[in-house]
Amino acid sequence: MKNLLLLTLFLMLFSCKESKKELVEVKQVSNEFILEFLNEILSDSTETRYFRNEIRMISNFAPMVRDTDFFYMDLEDKKFNSLVDYKADLLNTKDTTFIKNQLNNNPKLNLDFLSNYGFVIFDYKKYFDDQMGIVSIDKKIQIENVKNGFNIDSELLMIEKPTFNKELNLAYIRFKNGSNGKKVLFEKKNGKWKLLKEISTWNEHY
């Protein structure tokens, strides 16, 4: 009888752990989902597309000014205690845990995999890790532009990992072309991702 009770307790604990594990997995957004999202908005050729010009080359690394440096200034009369609260407000969700999980879990999105969709990827991370200067990296970008048949001065697109609401139909993302950055919200309607609004822009001077 005692052994039976112990077995029952063990099974109950195991079941509880499995349920918690499933809950954690549900609260994560896979890299596959993110890459599909990026491919859709980057390759959109419809009249309502966000990127009016064809995407030439994408950086696999995005050294941008920190979002926390100015996130609280974007919405009038609103102050936020953290980037998590700010993004939760933009994405119209009260589930800050879901937002926090996306910021903390698997932060290194491998944009090299966008090459599987036909995009040309520039290995910015390699040159950044090698501590190559901005001027030298810009020359490398020009060389790659020419090699791929692009205009020598075509700007490199940098992409920060997007953040989604729990329903996965709203996405917050930052882009940078050259020194110009943009913070954007996309919404999924009728199975398609489209621009909802441009939140703000900034310029980074070197």
Distances from the Cα of 15 to the Cα of 6, 22, 55, 130, angstroms: 14, 11, 48, 48
Angle of helix 96-104 versus helix 83-90 axis, rounded to 10: 120
- pTM higher than 0.75, yes or no? yes
Residue-level pLDDT at 68: 65
| Per-residue pLDDT tens digits of the chain, which is 206 residues long | 555 444 444 445 545 544 444 334 446 789 999 999 999 999 999 999 999 888 989 999 998 877 765 555 545 556 778 889 999 999 999 899 999 999 887 566 899 999 999 999 999 999 999 999 999 999 999 999 999 999 999 999 999 999 999 999 999 999 999 889 999 999 999 999 999 999 988 887 65
Domain that holds residue 178: 2-203
Tell me how far apart the alpha carbons of residues 160 and 68 are, in angstroms, rounded to a whole number: 13
Question: For the chain, what is the radius of gyration of the CA atoms?
Answer: 21
Q: How open is the CA angle 135-204-81, to the nearest 5 degrees?
A: 135
Residue-level pLDDT at 103: 86
Total tally of structural domains belonging to the chain: 1
